[in-house]
Amino acid sequence: MLSVDAAMPSVAPVPSFRRADVDDERWRDWRWQLGHMLTTADELATVVDLTPAERTGLAASAKLFRVGITPYYASLMDPAHASCPIRMQAIPNVAEADVRDEELRDPLGEDTHNPAPSVVHKYPDRVLFLVVDRCGIYCRHCNRRRLVGGDEPPTTADLEAGLAYIAQTRRIRDVLLSGGDPLLLSTRRLDYLLGRLRAIPHVETIRIGTRLPVVCPMRIDDELCTALAKHHPVFVNTHFNHVVELTPEARAGCERLVDAGIPVGNQTVLLRGINSSTQSLRALMRGLLRSRIKPYYLFQGDTVIGTDHLRTSVEDAMRLYESLRGWMNGMAVPMLVLDAPGGGGKVPIVPSFIESIDRETVVVRTYRGERISYPQPRQRDCSVAYDAVAFAGEPVDDDREGSAEMLDGPG
C-alpha cells in the first residue's frame, strides 16, 4: 500500500522573483527579465501580499486580458498597499469584466485603417508599423488588448508587405514602430528593420513606441543604443505613468538613449486612482524632465473594453491639466489629448484660456485666473512672400494628400 506522501502528486515549489532572491547577473539581463515574467497569483504572491480582490482579478484574467509583469517591475510594487500605482497598472481588477455598451474592442479604429498587414495608416503622412505582438507588461489600461499577447505574431511575410506599402506610399514621412513592444525584437532584427525603413527615401523620421524603459530598463543597453543611432533621426516615445516608475535604472536607461542622440518623449495615460491627482502628475512631469525625457502627451483614457473604472471624466482631466499649465516649466507640460473613438485621431482637449476675442482685443485668462487684454495688430495679412522662392516648384498641399498623392503615390 502506498504511503500518503507517495500518493500525493509532487508540486514544484514556486520560485521567488523577489529582488533579494535573484543574483545581480540574472537581474541585469533583459532576456532573463523577459523570460521570467510573473503571470500567476502564486508567482505574484512571492512579491506582494495579494488582496482577495487582486486574487479574484487574477483568477478571472484568463477571460479578460493576459497577465505579464517583469520581475524588475514587480519589485517596484508596494507589498503592503493594493492602491500602489504599479499594482493597479499590472494586476487585473475584476471590474475589467464589467464591459459597457459604449466600450470598444478597437477604440482607435485601427482595424479599419489597415491598408497592409501590420500597417495602420490613419493620418496623412505617418503610419504605425506593428512589428511584434508581445509586451514587457500587459497594462490593464491597454487600448490594444485585442492584439497584444503573443497569440498571432506578425509573420515575415506580413512585415515584408508592410514595408512594401510604406515604400510605395510616398506621402509617408514618418513611421512609428509599435506593437506590442518593438524593443522585444532582438537588436539584430530591429537593426535590420530600421535599415530597411531608412533605405526608403521618403521616410524622414522613425519613432519607436516602447514601455521597456519603464518595465525592463536593462533592455536599453549600449548595443541597442549603438544600433538605433545608426538610423537617425530616430525618436523613442515611452510610457511612464507614475513617478515611482522613475527609478535610477529607468532614468539611466533613458539617459543612455539621449546620450546616443535619441530624443525621448513620454506619453502618460491619465488613470483614475493611479495618477489622477495634481501632486502625482506634477511629480511625474518634473521627474521626467529631470531625467531628460520630454512629456509629450497626457491621454484621456480610451473607451476600450473593461477600462471604464480607470477613466477620469473629461472635466477632471481638464482641471488637472490646468493645475500643470503655468505652474511648472512649460517644457514639463504635455499636451492633453483625447483619441476620438472610431479612428478620428487625437483631439486636444486643453481648456481654453481665451475669454473673448474680436478684431481689436483678446481677453485671456492667466493660469492664476486674472483677466488680461491683449491688443490685436492692425495688419491681418499672414501670407509669406518668400514662400514662392523657398518652396518654388513644390506642391501647395503640403500634407501630400489630394493631387500630390495622385502624382506621387503608387499607380
Classify burial at 194, counting beta carbons within 10 Å of its beta carbon; exposed 0-12, middle 13-18, buried 19 or more: buried
Write down the least CB distance from residue 205 to ligand SF4, Å: 21
Does residue 350 contact residue 321 with C-beta atoms inside 8 Å? yes
Query: What is the Cα gyration radius of the chain?
Result: 24
Using the minimum distance from each CB to ligand SF4, give the nearer residue, 127 or 148.
Answer: 148
Cα 157 from chain centroid (whole Å): 26
Q: Which residues of 65-104 are buried (b: 16+ CB within 10 A; e: fewer)?
A: bbbbbbbbbbbbbeeeebebbbbbbbbbbbbbeebeeebb
Q: Is 139 in the site for ligand SF4 (CB under 6 A)?
A: yes
Q: Is 242 in the site for ligand SF4 (CB under 6 A)?
A: no
One-letter identity of residue 46: T
Q: Is 181 in the site for ligand SF4 (CB under 6 A)?
A: yes
Site for ligand SF4 in 192-211 (CB under 6 A): 211
Where are any strands of DSSP class E within 135-233?
Answer: 174-178, 205-209
Q: How many angstroms separate the CA atoms of 31 and 162, rounded? A: 27
- Residue in 236, 211, 248 with CA at minimum distance from that of residue 132: 211
Using the minimum distance from each CB to ligand SF4, give the nearer residue, 169 or 300.
Answer: 300
Write down the least CB distance from residue 47 to ligand SF4, Å: 19
Contact with ligand SF4 (CB under 6 A) among 37, 69, 74, 142: 142
Q: How many angstroms separate the CA atoms of 55 and 93, rounded? A: 9
Write down the least CB distance from residue 238 to ligand SF4, Å: 10
Q: Is 305 in the site for ligand SF4 (CB under 6 A)?
A: no
Q: Is 231 in the site for ligand SF4 (CB under 6 A)?
A: no
- Residue in 77, 80, 76, 14 with CA at minimum distance from that of residue 49: 80
Determine the interface stretch with ligand SF4 among 138-146, 218-226, 280-288, 291-299 (rule: CB under 6 A): 138-146
Contact with ligand SF4 (CB under 6 A) among 87, 121, 126, 144: 144
Write down the least CB distance from residue 124 to ligand SF4, Å: 24
Q: Is 311 in the site for ligand SF4 (CB under 6 A)?
A: no
Write down the least CB distance from residue 211 to ligand SF4, Å: 4
Determine the interface stretch with ligand SF4 among 27-35, 133-141, 195-203, 275-283 (rule: CB under 6 A): 133-141
Using the minimum distance from each CB to ligand SF4, give the nearer residue, 139 or 172.
Answer: 139
What strands lie across the sheet with 371-375, from one edge to the other? 354-357, 361-365, 371-375
Task: Record the cell numbers describing residue 200, joined without a space.
Answer: 526608403
Site size toward ligand SF4 (CB under 6 A) is 9
Q: Is 148 in the site for ligand SF4 (CB under 6 A)?
A: yes
Binding site for ligand SF4 (CB under 6 A): 135, 137-139, 142, 144, 148, 181, 211
